[in-house]
Structure 1
Amino acid sequence: MRINAILIFLVSITIGIHTQTLSSQTTQDYFDTIRPEYSGGLAFETTAFVEKYWRVAGNTGFNETVYFIEKHLKSAGYVLEVDAKDSDRFVYRIEERPMQRPTWEPVSAALAFAGSNELILNQETNRNMVYLNSTSTPVGGIEAEVVHIGDVKDLEQIEVKGKIVFAEMSARELYQTAIVEDGAIGLITYNNPSYLQPEKNKTSIQFRSLRYNKEFPVWGIALSFEAKERLLSELEKGKVDVKVDIQTKIYPSTELTVVANIRGDKLPKESLVFSAHIQEPGANDNATGVGAQLEMAVLAAKLVKSKKIVANRTLTFLWGDEIISTRRYVEEKEKRTSDINWGISLDMVGENTAVTGGSFLIEKMPDPSAIWTRGNDKHSEWGGRVLKEKDMKPHYLNDFIINVFMQQGKHANWEVNTNPFEGGSDHTPFLRADIPGLLLWHFTDQFYHTDNDRIDKVSQETLKNVGIGALVSGFTLINGDVHFAEELKGTILKAAEERLKAEFELSTASIKKGNSKADEIKILTTWANWYQDAIASLSDLISESDVEFQYEIRKGQKLVGEIASDYSEQLKSL
Structure 2
Amino acid sequence: MFKKLILFLLISILFINCKNASITVLSSSNVADIINNEFTGDLAFNTASFVEKYWRVVGNTGFNKSIYKIAEELEKSGFVLEENATENDILTYRIEKRPLKNPTWESVNAIVKIEGKNDTLLQHATNRNMIALNSYSTPKDGVSAEVIYVRDLEKIADLDVKGKIVFAETSPYGIYKSAIIEGKAVGIITYNNPSYLQPEKNTTSIQFRSIPLDTVNKSWAIAMSFAAKERLKASLEKGKTTLKVRVKTNIYSSEELTIVADIKGSEMPEERLVFSAHIQEPGANDNATGVGVALEMASLTAKFIRQQQYEPKRTLTFLWGDEIISTQRYVQEDSIRAKYINWGISLDMVGEDTEKTGGTFLIEKMPDPSAIWTRGNDKHTEWGGSKMKLEQMKPHYLNDFLIDKFKQQGKRANWIVGTNPFEGGSDHVPFLRQNIPSVLFWHFTDQFYHTDNDRIDKVSKTTLKNVGTTALIAAYTLLNADKKVAKSILLNLETAAVSRLNKEFKQSKIAINNGDSLSTQIEIITAWKDWYQKSFTTTSGLFSDEKVINNDIEKSQKLIDSISSVIIKELQKKN
Instruction: Bin the TM-score by the shorter chain.
Output: over 0.9
Deviates more, 1:545-554 or 1:68-77: 545-554
Q: More displaced, 27-36 or 294-303?
A: 27-36
Q: 1:452 to 1:185 in 2, by over 3 A?
A: same
Query: What is the CA–CA distance in structure 1 between the aligned matches of 2:562 and 2:199, rounded to whole Å?
Result: 51
Equivalent-residue separation in structure 1 for 2:460 and 2:560 (angstroms):
41
Which deviates more from structure 2 when the two are superposed, residues 126-135 or residues 27-36? Answer: 27-36
> Which residue matches 1:101?
102
Residue equivalent to 1:7 = none
Shift of 1:550: 1.2
How far apart, CA to CA, are the structure 1 residues paired with 2:326 and 2:56? Answer: 15
Aligned counterpart, 1:553: 553
Does structure 1 residue 296 correspond to structure 2 residue 310? no
Structure 1 stretch displaced more, 550-559 or 84-93 = 550-559
Counterparts of 1:255 and 1:522, CA distance in 2: 47
Q: Which amino acid aligns with 2:547?
A: V
Question: What CA deviation, in whole Å up to 9, does each residue of 1:102-153 have, x standing for no partner?
Answer: 0000010000012433100000000000000100000021100000001222
1:216 Cα offset (Å): 2.6
Taking structure 1 as reference, are residues 204 and 561 closer, same or farther at Cα in structure 2, changes over 3 Å only? same
Match of 1:348 in 2: 349
State the secondary structure of the residue aligned to 2:38. Answer: coil
Matches within 5 A, 1:522-561: 522-543=523-544, 545-561=545-561
For 1:118 and 1:172, locate their aligned partners in 2 and report how far apart those are by CA, in whole Å.
28
Q: Deviations over 1:34-62 (max 9, x none)?
A: 11110000000001111000000000000
Map of 1:508 onto structure 2:
509
Residue 105 of structure 1 aligns to a residue whose secondary structure is: strand
> How far apart are the structure 2 equivalents of 1:567 and 1:299?
47
TM-fit CA distance, 1:554: 1.5
Q: Which residue pairs with 2:311 in the alignment? A: 310
Other-structure match for 1:566: 566
Q: 1:339 to 1:562 in 2, by over 3 A?
A: same
> 1:170 maps to which residue?
171
Q: Structure 2: where are the runs of 5+ without partners?
A: 1-24
> 2 CA distance for matches of 1:28 and 1:442?
30
- Once the two structures are superposed, residues 414-460 of structure 1 have per-residue CA deviations (whole angstroms, 9 ceiling, x without a partner) of 00000000000000000000000000000000000000000110000
CA deviations on 1:51-79 (whole Å, 9 max, x unpaired) are 00000000000000001000000010100
Is 1:269–1:337's contact at 8 Å kept on the other side of the alignment? no
Question: Is contact 1:271-1:338 (8 Å) kept?
Answer: no
Identity within the alignment, %: 57
CA shift for structure 1 position 218: 1.4
The answer on whether the counterparts of 2:26 and 2:309 sit within 8 Å (CA) in structure 1 is: no
Tell me by how many angstroms 1:32 deviates: 1.8
Structure 2 CA distance, aligned partners of 1:482 and 1:310? 18
- What is the alpha-carbon distance in structure 2 between the residues aligned to residue 157 and residue 67 of structure 1? 51
In structure 2, distance between residues paired with 1:498 and 1:320: 39
Which residue is equivalent to 1:44? 45
Higher relative contact order (CA 8 A, sep 6+): 1
> For the residues of structure 1 that align with 2:434 and 2:205, how far apart are their CA atoms?
37
Whole-Å separation in 1 of the counterparts to 2:165 and 2:570:
66
**Matching of residues 40-189 of structure 1 within 5 Å:** 40-189=41-190
Which amino acid counterpart does residue 417 of structure 1 have in structure 2? G
Q: 1:479 to 1:111 in 2, by over 3 A?
A: same
Moved more, 151-160 or 29-38: 151-160
Instruction: Please give the residue correspondences for 1:227-246 in structure 2 after superposition, counting only pairs within 5 Å.
Output: 227-246=228-247
* Matched residue type, 2:231: R
Compute the TM-score of the two structures, normalised by the length of structure 2: 0.94
Report the alpha carbon displacement of residue 338 of structure 1 after superposing the two structures with TM: 7.8
Map Cα deviations across residues 279-312 of structure 1 (whole Å, 9 max, x no partner).
0000000000000110000001111221212210
Query: Which residue of structure 2 lines up, in the alignment, with residue 4 of structure 1?
Result: none
**Aligned partner of residue 210 in structure 1, secondary structure:** coil
Deviation at 1:335? Answer: 9.1
Moved more, 392-401 or 505-514: 505-514
* Partner amino acid, structure 1, of 2:549: F
Q: Match of 1:16?
A: none
**Deviation at residue 548 of structure 1 after TM alignment:** 3.5
Check the 8 A contact 2:332/2:338 in 1, yes or no.
Answer: no
1:205 matches 2:206: yes
Provide the C-alpha distance between the structure 2 equivalents of 1:86 and 1:213, rounded to a whole number of angstroms: 49
2:49–2:456 contact (8 Å) kept in structure 1? yes
Q: State whether residues 270 and 337 of structure 2, in contact with CA within 8 Å, keep that contact through their aligned partners in structure 1.
A: no
Partner amino acid, structure 2, of 1:177: S
Instruction: Determine if contact 1:314/1:338 at 8 Å carries over to the other structure.
Output: no
Query: AA paired with 1:552?
Result: D
SS at match of 1:36: helix
1:464 aligns with: 465
Contact 2:145 2:165 in 1 (8 A): yes
Q: Is contact 2:540–2:546 with CA below 8 Å preserved after alignment?
A: no
Once residues 551 and 217 of structure 2 are traced to their aligned partners in structure 1, the CA distance between those partners, rounded to angstroms, is 65
Question: Matched residue pairs, number?
Answer: 550
Match of 2:499 in 1: 498
Q: Contact 2:157–2:178 (CA<8 Å) still a contact in 1?
A: no
Q: In the TM superposition, what is the alpha-carbon distance from 1:27 to its structure 2 partner? A: 4.4
Read off the aligned partner of 1:29 and give its amino acid letter. Answer: N
Partner deviation per Cα, 1:476-498 (whole Å, 9 max, x = no partner):
11111111001011100000000
Give the structure 2 partner of residue 8 of structure 1.
none
Task: Render the CA deviation track for 1:10-50: whole Å, top value 9, x for unaligned.
Answer: xxxxxxxxxxxxxx965443212211110000000001111
Whether 2:30 is the aligned partner of 1:29: answer yes
The answer (yes or no) to whether the contact 1:384–1:421 under 8 Å persists in 2 is yes
Q: Provide the C-alpha distance between the structure 2 equivalents of 1:502 and 1:370, rounded to a whole number of angstroms.
A: 16
**3-state secondary structure, aligned to 2:418:** strand
Give, in whole Å, the separation in 1 of the partners of 2:573 and 2:156. Answer: 62
Q: Report the CA distance between 1:187 and its aligned residue.
A: 0.3
2:253 is equivalent to residue 252 of structure 1: yes
Q: Which residue of 2 aligns with 1:488?
A: 489
Specify the SS of the correspondent of 1:573. Answer: helix
Work out whether residues 176 and 212 of structure 2, in 8 Å CA contact, stay in contact via their aligned partners in 1: no
Secondary structure at the aligned position of 2:147 is classed as: strand
Measured at CA, do residues 170 and 546 of structure 1 come closer, stay the same or move farther in structure 2, by a change above 3 Å?
A: closer
Contact 1:26-1:476 at 8 Å conserved across structures:
no
Report the Cα offset of residue 215 of structure 1.
2.0
Change (3 A) 1:215 1:518: same
* Greater alpha carbon shift after TM alignment, 224-233 vs 214-223: 214-223
Match status 1:277 vs 2:278: yes
Amino acid at match of 1:193: P
2:114–2:241 contact (8 Å) kept in structure 1: yes
Residue 433 of structure 2 corresponds to 432
Once residues 383 and 394 of structure 1 are traced to their aligned partners in structure 2, the CA distance between those partners, rounded to angstroms, is: 22
Q: 1:87 to 1:202 in 2, by over 3 A?
A: same
Amino acid at match of 1:163: K
Deviations 1:136-188 (A, max 9, x none): 00002110000000122222321000110000001122111111111001000
* 1: CA distance, partners of 2:464 / 2:141: 43
Query: Relative to structure 1, is the Cα distance of residues 488 and 334 closer, same or farther in structure 2, using a 3 angstrom cutoff?
Result: closer
Deviation (angstroms), 1:189? 0.3
